[in-house]
Copies of this chain bind each other. A is one copy, B any other.
Amino acid sequence: MEPGGGDLVRFGQGRAAQVLPTRLLLLPLLLGRGLRVVAAASSSGAAAEDSSAMEELATEKEAEESHRQDSVSLLTFILLLTLTILTIWLFKHRRVRFLHETGLAMIYGLIVGVILRYGTPATSGHDKSLSCTQEDRAFSTLLVNVSGKFFEYTLKGEISPGKINSVEQNDMLRKVTFDPEVFFNILLPPIIFHAGYSLKKRHFFRNLGSILAYAFLGTAVSCFIIGNLMYGVVKLMKMVGQLTDKFYYTDCLFFGAIISATDPVTVLAIFNELHADVDLYALLFGESVLNDAVAIVLSSSIVAYQPAGLNTHAFDAAAFFKSVGIFLGIFSGSFTMGAVTGVVTALVTKFTKLHCFPLLETALFFLMSWSTFLLAEACGFTGVVAVLFCGITQAHYTYNNLSVESRGRTKQLFEVLHFLAENFIFSYMGLALFTFQKHVFSPIFIIGAFVAIFLGRAAHIYPLSFFLNLGRRHKIGWNFQHMMMFSGLRGAMAFALAIRDTASYARQMMFTTTLLIVFFTVWIVGGGTTPMLSWLNIRVGVDPDQDPPPNNDSFQVLQGDGPDSTGGNQTKQESAWLFRLWYSFDHNYLKPILTHSGPPLTNTLPAWCGLLARCLTSPQVYDNQEPLREEDSDFILTEGDLTLTYGDSTVTANGSSGSHTASMSLEGSRRTKSSSEEVLERDLGMGDQKVSSWGTRLVFPLEDNA
């Protein structure tokens, strides 16, 4: 090869050939093309050095070109999101509720996907060389000797032989296709952390038993039922000759697991806006947050189900129990990781005076929360699940130690990250329907899947609600059950799980089906929520800090914001002894150790660990806390229950004007906040603050934690 002295110009930053600026995006595969262009343009003979310089130039130019294309594809997404934001604003401004922002993001994504698919020429930027044949195995790195120069290649992955001729792809389509792990490692964590950090604590804990039942039992039931139904569908497809590739029972169960992660983001947004029933909100939100975690771990455990011997897809009890063990191991490990990082953050923020420097505090909070994810991944657990429990712990303990400014900052930071990540995922979904290259549309499978998820959801909600109602005092009414049934949308988590592995034919079919399920549930259910709410007579416009009616008869009485003086006792009876035990433990020991609130440890711990107790108790507690009386333990227990109920009951029982004033000013200040902030503010710690101050008869300043 003798390339001549063409007049290629180095423009812009000189990038070295070694540097491929392609983080976050797939590696550009078009370097080779440029080299060929140079080769074609070669004319007369020139010095060898000149030729190498030209080649270097060309490689550099190609790297630059690739970087430019990366920028353009990211820019496409940013413009998509900008467009979505502006349209959302228009919708909110006009109070349009039939389409949620996520649905909108999908539509815009779809449109851009169509344009990219059919509007851009299908260039083939793929150069292949099949001349290298190795005998034994694949190396991670190849050094290739090209006419005396060495080039380094890295292994990208295996390609199934059938696909080799179909890799002629559109460059732009390839560019907008992200590495699936981006979803798991970059986009999901902020979404899940925000969910944990903004859990409506009071209502969440009051319904904890039911939420856990729906999330764990319900998801398992749903996964099993969907898996079995789909196995039937697959059998049917094989019978009618629609399926020739492998599709095992474990694949069906895997599909059941990934599609069981509900994500009622659109429903909850409408609930939030209309101030729909808080208990229903807590049930739906809590279930969806936890069942994301369950679905991740469940799908990993199903993949890990690997029977011994040659017949790798028959049932094997040992393998089954190993899978169950793996489920429990990953789940408890991730839970522990999350909780431990949360506790460490709480301790650090308590025992340093970081709150004088909100910037440092916020940075520390962010880093510690992120480290949970990495720690869990490094230990082989699931980062996303760890992040969820870290978020809950941070909200429960650390939040109380933060300065007022940092509370705002952390909430807002994660709110923005969550918003961007969520809308990004949904617009990517829209795009993926047209730009993803390996779709497998199978009508039978898709119809079967729709039926299966409907039946799976029904088999999960109604029987479980029936059993839960046997134990619950506040029954979950039929209208609530129907609403929960209706709200079983699938969203970001199902998509992320499905796109994570699209190597086999079965997985590609699952991915396509999941995508369609997400589309239809988000659009149809999202649009139908408001009519459904009124059709099912679910009350809206509820003050979220008000207690629900003890039973349906007293509904009228309570609508006038009247205090419910019997709330405390009821909840005490209602909540199981296990939770009361936990609350008493949390309130007496954990909160005083980890935060500045709660009773002093010197009072709650036995006398022989007095020194330790003095060290651990923060001075603020003594400043804030009345000396406790004889009936200490009883009193604390009542207070613990108040955390469950946190009622206006206390105010009414006291009847003192002081407490009323405090509550009014609090209400007043809260009302002026914007609604998005209000939701968070209302439940993160604010409730606790008030409880601790009200429980101790309002002799302490309200801002005692500041």
Do residues A352 and B182 form an inter-chain contact, with CB atoms below 8 A?
no
| Cα-based distance from A605 to B386 in the complex (angstroms) | 60
* Cβ < 8 Å to B, chain A residues 318-357: 326, 330, 348, 352-354, 356-357
Nearest-Cβ distance from residue A100 to partner chain B, whole angstroms? 14
Using CB atoms, name the residue of chain B closest to A81: B367
A151, CB-defined interface residue at 8 Å? yes
Question: For residue A151, which residues in chain B have a CB less than 8 angstroms away from its CB?
Answer: 138, 155-159
Q: Which of B179, B182, B299, B419 contacts A359 (CB 8 A)?
A: B419
Q: Which residue of B lies closest to A423 (CB)?
A: B363
- With A78-B374, A89-B360, A415-B359 as given contacts, are A142 and B154 in contact (CB-CB < 8 Å)? no
In the assembled complex, which residues on chain B have CB atoms less than 8 Å from the CB atom of A440?
A: none
Q: Chain A 1-37, CB within 8 Å of chain B: the 1/0 string?
A: 1000000011111111111110110011111110110
Query: Are A503 and B18 in contact, CB atoms less than 8 angstroms apart?
Result: yes
Tell me whether A609 is interfacial, beta carbon within 8 Å: no
B153 close to A127 (CB less than 8 A):
no
How many residues of chain A have a CB within 8 Å of chain B? 144
C-alpha spacing A381/B12, complex, angstroms: 7
Q: Is A92 an interface residue (CB 8 A)?
A: yes
A248: CB under 8 A from chain B?
no
Q: How many copies does the complex hold?
A: 2
- Shortest A96–chain B CB gap in Å is 14
Known: A18-B157, A154-B27. A82 touches B419 (CB 8 A): no
Q: Report if A14-B300 is in contact (Cβ < 8 Å); known contacts: A23-B185, A32-B155, A185-B23.
A: yes
Select A358's contact among B159, B182, B674, beta carbons within 8 Å.
B674
Q: Nearest chain-B residue to A152 (Cβ)?
A: B156
A355-393 CB contacts (< 8 Å) to partner B: 356-360, 362-364, 366-368, 370-371, 374-375, 377-378, 380-383
Q: Collect the chain B residues with CB atoms within 8 Å of residue A127's CB.
A: 139-141
- Whether A317 sits at the interface, judged by CB under 8 Å, is no
User: A357 contacts which chain B residues (CB < 8 A)?
Assistant: 88-89, 92, 674, 676
Chain B residue nearest to A136 in the complex (CB): B1
User: CB distance B18 to A82 under 8 Å?
Assistant: no
Q: Would you call B141 and A21 a contact (CB within 8 A)?
A: no
With an 8 A cutoff between CB atoms, is A74 at the interface? yes
Nearest-neighbor residue (CB-CB) of A345 within chain B: B82
In the bound complex, do residue A82 and residue B136 qualify as a contact, i.e. CB atoms below 8 Å apart?
no
Q: In whole angstroms, how far apart are the Cα atoms of A541 and B300 in the complex?
A: 60
- Which of the listed residues A93, A135, A143, A310 has the most CB atoms from chain B within 10 Å of its own CB? A143
Chain B residues whose C-beta falls within 8 Å of the C-beta of A296 in the assembled complex: 13
Tell me the bound Cα distance from A643 to B132 in angstroms. Answer: 70
Q: Give which listed residue, B32, B86, B132, B358, contacts A131 with CB less than 8 A.
A: B132
- Contact across chains for B380 and A11 when beta carbons are under 8 A apart: yes
- In the docked arrangement, what's the CA distance between A677 and B405, Å? 10
Asked whether, in the complex, the Cβ of B378 is within 8 Å of the Cβ of A68, the reply is: yes
Assess the A39–B137 pair: CB atoms within 8 A: yes
Question: Among B28, B131, B157, which residue has its beta carbon within 8 angstroms of that of A17?
Answer: B157
Partner of A409, one of B181, B182, B377, B416: B416
Per-position 1/0 for A241-277, Cβ under 8 A of B: 0000000000000000000000000000000000000
> What are 29 of the A-B contact pairs (CB < 8 Å)?
A17-B503, A18-B158, A19-B179, A21-B184, A29-B140, A31-B140, A31-B155, A32-B138, A32-B139, A33-B140, A67-B377, A71-B374, A75-B371, A82-B367, A85-B354, A85-B360, A88-B360, A89-B353, A131-B134, A135-B147, A137-B146, A143-B159, A150-B160, A151-B155, A152-B156, A153-B155, A362-B412, A363-B416, A367-B420
Please give 8 more A-B residue pairs, beta carbons under 8 A apart, in addition to A23-B185, A142-B153, A143-B159. A23-B186, A29-B140, A72-B374, A75-B378, A88-B357, A136-B147, A151-B156, A413-B416
